[in-house]
A and B are shown apart, each in its own frame.
Chain A
Amino acid sequence: MQRLNFEPVLTGKAEAALRSDVRRFLANQDAFPPAEVIDSWSVCNPEFSRLLAAEGWLGMTWPTEYGGGGRSYLERYVVIEELLAAGAPVGAHWVADRQSGPLLLRFGTEEQRQHFLPKIVRGECFFAIGMSEANSGSDLASIKTRAERIDGGWLVNGSKIWTSWAHVCQQMITLCRTEAPTKDRHAGLSQFIIDLDHEGITMNPIKNMAGEEHFNEIFFDNVFVPDTRVIGEVNQGWNQVMAELAFERSGPERFLSSYRLLEAAVEILHEEDLQQHTSAIIGQFTARLMVLRQMSLSVANQLQQGKLPVNEASVVKDLGTSFEQELPDALRLILSTEARLDAKHGVERLLSDAILKSPSFSLRGGTREILRGIISRGLGLR
């Protein structure tokens, strides 16, 4: 049995300076609307993304030859956790910065990198994720969207669903079947970069239960994709997707989605005469947050060392999303108030947002059951 590795790491001087820069930047911004600070990495604000780009905080870890910052994973960690803790609207560029860019760096062609990475870094090109389909959720290998080879490229037919902000993004990395399923269900899948302005693409918005409209269902009707927009090797899409998911599972967004509520609760409770029960709940969640930060930083450090800690990333996501889901449930019991859907500000609004958005926390990027399956494989059980 391989032991999970979470060797602690401390950030140094470079990170401390960067942290101060981000705090100074945030202090100079107008206050973020209270209705947008819970799960703020699902809040799309292209203008804000371009402000971050101007500071050099998109594509921070990418090589400078593609416009990247040439910084470390720990430096990027510091920037994104500062933004998330402040409830900054980072949703527009989030996917491109976190996973699409790194995927292109790992598997893309030189032309693709030169074409897309500098635009992402400038906040001019946002990416959507095209994985799930109406009948393929956790069972991703069962997707039906096809790409057929034709002269000079591929013809894509099918549909994708739950594609956040596809109506704002310019590009979508789309997983398609390029060969009929065989005994090896994971074979015969390929990834394509599809320009979302292309002829043959239609989109229907899907409103979620928290009242937001970032989801879409997106249809492809004979959409032509040139050969130059295949990522990596044809039919090797599954392994590439798994690598992509490893990048997206361990970051601080996996436990900070409801953090603003904790701060708001502390602000209220610190004025009050405390009951032991109240302190104990705050202490328990503080301890969980402390450990999650240590674990997530450790994974960032391992990514920096060139490792691919897939199991550890799954652990962070499962523990992290439990934390951010359970936090509003626990705080509602010690805050003497009720959640209000229409409150303009205050803890009533944050509670409402955190509770109504929380089901998605443990669904996006791999459900609890999928993550625990991955961890079980690491334990040698499957």
Chain B
Amino acid sequence: MNELVTLVEESATRLFKDFSESDTYDSMEAGAFPTQLWNDFLADGWLRTTLAEEEDGAGLGLEGGYVLMRLAGYYAAPIPIMEPLLGLHLLSQVGLPITDELFIPVVIDNDSIMDNISITGVPWARDAAGLVIVFTSNGRTWINLMRPESYIVTASQNMAGEPRDDVQLIVNPLNGAERLENIITASQITSWLALGKSVMTAGALQRVLERTVEYATERSQFGRQIGKFQAVQQQLAVQAELTSASNCAVDAAIGHIGTTQEWELIVCAKITTAEAAGYAAKTAHAIHAAIGFTHEYPLQISTRRLWSWRDEYGNEQQWSTRLGEHTLKFNNDGLWPWLTTQTSE
């Protein structure tokens, strides 16, 4: 994976670095879509990162897409990246037409599909060219690319000010839906989205760790750098441990895409990153003290995302429950072989 990481990192970093200007965040939070940045993103072809070369893609697959999403999390990119990447990837997987537009993938959990379905927390729905709706009905999985005339959007935001809108479908999603035949399941798409958020969280965790270590070596109190105090070092060491565990967990999950252990490795990544997010945000703010609590200081750009993202696509309690139910299906002899299979070719 290392070569791929280097390849994507080098070129994407150039783009993402310019994002970090706070007026971009302020205007995004006030409701303005960052058109310029989005257009730059499109112009460089990043939207098609995962797609094959014959689809004018970069040919990097989901693996490459997730590397890009980790950078987006690291730099707290104020444009939608994870959702349109996965939205387009999904369209390509099922053979629907691909265009360079903002498509947001949405999985409806409800098994009773009817008129007037309400969906909460849809990322960037207000700016989307369409929603890629995936749902299960009568035991079958369906997909429907619904255009804005089929739904009503009420704007809302997560704690980081990112668009998380409420959507009311005014057309039954079964109208014009296509069946997903053995290509992909709704639960697989749900886990891909959860992995996207985990990967972004892992990137943000790394950024917050670096910022906090840097601050601890710059800031002096009682005549020495605060990072020289053991009490501070012990907290930062734990933050580094959880950050590295998170990055290891997402790396392992990315490496298992397409294998029979994909689901459990993704669930593990979501639980690990969501748990680390709370500790890291809390510790980073404790060490930055008052300056980190200001709007002007950039720490909050990442920590508000950590607090939001740990809940999105399932928090650690919800995923732990599902993983625990899975674990508890094993009897005495099955648990250990299952664990060891996860790290075997």
Cβ < 8 Å to B, chain A residues 203-255: none
**Is B37's CB within 8 Å of the partner chain A?**
no
**Shortest Cβ distance from residue A255 to the other chain B in the assembled complex, whole angstroms:** 12
Whether the pair B240, A315 counts as a contact (CB closer than 8 A) is yes
Total CB contacts across the A-B interface at under 8 A? 182
Taking the complex as formed, is B187 at the interface, i.e. its CB lies under 8 A from any CB of chain A?
Answer: no
A371 to B252, CA, bound (A): 25
**Given A373-B230, A381-B213: A279 and B237 interface contact (C-beta under 8 Å):** no
Smallest beta-carbon distance B195→chain A, Å:
14
B4 CB → nearest A CB, Å:
13
Kindly identify, within residues 255 to 276 of chain A, every residue whose CB is under 8 Å from any CB belonging to chain B: 262-264, 266-267, 269-270, 274, 276
Q: Does A372 contact B (CB under 8 A)?
A: yes
Q: A284-B320, A286-B327, A315-B244 are in contact. Are A263 and B332 (CB under 8 A)?
A: yes
- What residues on A are CB-neighbors of B248 within 8 Å? 6, 8, 291, 294-295, 298
Q: What are 25 A-B pairs at a CB distance below 8 A? A: A6-B251, A8-B252, A8-B343, A19-B340, A19-B344, A266-B335, A270-B328, A274-B328, A279-B322, A283-B319, A283-B325, A283-B326, A289-B339, A290-B249, A293-B339, A294-B252, A295-B248, A315-B240, A315-B245, A318-B237, A372-B234, A373-B230, A375-B240, A379-B236, A381-B213
Q: Whole-angstrom distance between the alpha carbons of A312 and B271 in the complex? A: 21
Closest partner residue, chain A, to B225 (CB atom)? A381
Q: Taking beta carbons and an 8 Å cutoff, which residues of A are in contact with B?
A: 1, 3-4, 6-13, 15-16, 19, 81, 85, 262-264, 266-267, 269-270, 274, 276, 278-284, 286-291, 293-295, 297-298, 312, 315, 318-319, 369, 371-373, 375-376, 378-382
| A residues less than 8 Å from B1 (CB atoms) | 7
Q: Which residue of B lies closest to A279 (CB)?
A: B324
Interface residues of B in 233-250 (CB under 8 A from A): 233-234, 236-238, 240-241, 243-245, 247-249
Min CB–CB distance B251 → chain A (angstroms) = 5
Q: How large is the interface on B (under 10, 10 to 19, 20 to 34, 35 or more residues)?
A: 35 or more
Q: Which residue of B lies closest to A282 (CB)?
A: B324
* Interfacial residues of chain B within 307-345, with CB under 8 A of chain A in the complex: 316-317, 319-332, 335-336, 339-340, 342-345
Contacting pair B241 A315 (CB below 8 A): yes
CB pair B324–A294 under 8 Å, yes or no, is: no
B:197-242 near A, CB below 8 Å: 206, 210, 213-214, 216-217, 227-228, 230, 232-234, 236-238, 240-241
Contacting B344 at CB < 8 Å: which of A11, A312, A372, A381? A11
* Cβ contact within 8 Å between B328 and A282: yes
By a CB distance below 8 angstroms, the chain A residues around B267 are: 283, 287
In the complex, the answer to whether A297 meets B323 with C-beta atoms within 8 Å is no
CA–CA, A222 to B282, complex, Å? 55
Whether A286 and B241, one on each chain, are in contact in the complex, defined by CB atoms closer than 8 angstroms, is: no
Q: A19: which B residues are within 8 A, CB to CB?
A: 340, 344
Which single residue of chain A is at the shortest CB-CB distance from B242?
A319
> In the complex, given contacts A276-B321, A283-B322, A373-B233, what are 12 additional A-B residue pairs having Cβ atoms less than 8 angstroms apart?
A11-B344, A282-B324, A282-B327, A283-B320, A287-B268, A287-B323, A290-B342, A291-B249, A312-B244, A372-B237, A372-B238, A379-B237
